[in-house]
Amino acid sequence: SAVISQKPSRDICQRGTSLTIQCQVDSQVTMMFWYRQQPGQSLTLIATANQGSEATYESGFVIDKFPISRPNLTFSTLTVSNMSPEDSSIYLCSVEGRGRGTEAFFGQGTRLTVV
Amino acid sequence: DAKTTQPPSMDCAEGRAANLPCNHSTISGNEYVYWYRQIHSQGPQYIIHGLKNNETNEMASLIITEDRKSSTLILPHATLRDTAVYYCIVRVFGNEKLTFGTGTRLTIIP
């Protein structure tokens, strides 16, 4: 299994500001994934982060709004930029288990409220 | 990845078996069925996955129909801690991305 730590666990931010969310894994992983879960909704994949290359974004998500860093094999950050109330969501980091096709592990998430 | 259809909500009495259905009629031959659950205020948790044979682990059993167009997740003796949203996901083995549907909100009743 993989243990994932996300920081902060929650935050309340002013509109127009940016928040950087950190994701730390206790083992080296090739891919890390960032998801968004809007209130009362299911999870939606934002992007896939590979070490040493630019993140791959899903349709509807752009780098200017959600810049991602992946400086090494155990760490990634997601920044939510120029926030508006519509960005209020839970943001979750995920990694694949050991071996391709096995289960994914998720962090506890960051609950973001934009006021 | 194939689309899945699940009932939006279900109730189950504590101690009874909870049977959660999932339809995936457009599943391809190389796609697996995965189940995750999300307990309130937590990240999703992996439960089980399978290709065509029935599978069992310490958490649950997965029954896949012979034509693979539907499956059932079985929690044999549901407890209050099993109250969660359960997601059925179909994906190609080795495709690390997960596409979540709306899931089934399972409520275990004392």
pLDDT in tens, A46-97: 999 988 888 999 999 999 999 999 999 999 999 999 999 999 999 999 998 7
What pLDDT was estimated at residue A37?
Answer: 97
Which residues sit opposite A57 in a β-bridge?
A47
User: B27-48, pLDDT tens digit by residue?
Assistant: 999 899 999 999 998 999 999 9
What pLDDT band is residue A115 in, cutting at 50, 70 and 90? very high
Peptide bond preceding A67 in cis form (omega within 30 of 0): no
Please check whether residue A1 touches B, CB under 8 A: no
Indicate if the pLDDT at residue B2 is higher than 80: no
Please check whether residue A109 touches B, CB under 8 A: yes
Q: Taking CB atoms and an 8 Å limit, are A96 and B96 in contact across chains? A: yes
Q: What's at B69, amino acid-wise?
A: K
The alpha carbon of A42 is separated from its chain's Cα centroid by a whole number of angstroms, namely 15
Exposure of B54 in the CB half-sphere (CA atoms within 13 A): 9
Please check whether residue A19 touches B, CB under 8 A: no
Name the more confident of B81 and A30: B81
What pLDDT was estimated at residue B67?
Answer: 95
What pLDDT band is residue A98 in, cutting at 50, 70 and 90? low
d(CA A12, CA A83): 11
* CA proximity to B99, closest of B21, B32, B29: B32
Q: Taking CB atoms and an 8 Å limit, are A48 and B96 in contact across chains? A: yes
* CA proximity to B17, closest of B65, B69, B82: B82
Residue of B45, B97, B102 lying closest to A42 (CB–CB): B102
Please check whether residue A107 touches B, CB under 8 A: yes
Q: Identify the three-state secondary structure at position A25.
A: strand
Q: Taking CB atoms and an 8 Å limit, are B96 and A106 in contact across chains? A: no
Residue B40 CB burial class (10 angstroms; 0-12, 13-18, ≥19): exposed
Q: How far A83 CA sits from the closest chain B CA (Å)?
A: 22
What pLDDT band is residue B1 in, cutting at 50, 70 and 90? low
Residue of B93, B96, B99 lying closest to A31 (CB–CB): B96
Residue of A100, A106, A107 lying closest to B94 (CB–CB): A100
- Do B23 and B69 contact (CB within 8 A), yes or no? yes
What pLDDT was estimated at residue B41?
Answer: 84
Q: Taking CB atoms and an 8 Å limit, are B100 and A43 in contact across chains? A: yes
Q: Give the residue-averaged pLDDT of B37-61.
A: 93
Residues of B with CB under 8 A from a CB of A: 32, 34, 36, 41-46, 49, 87, 93-103
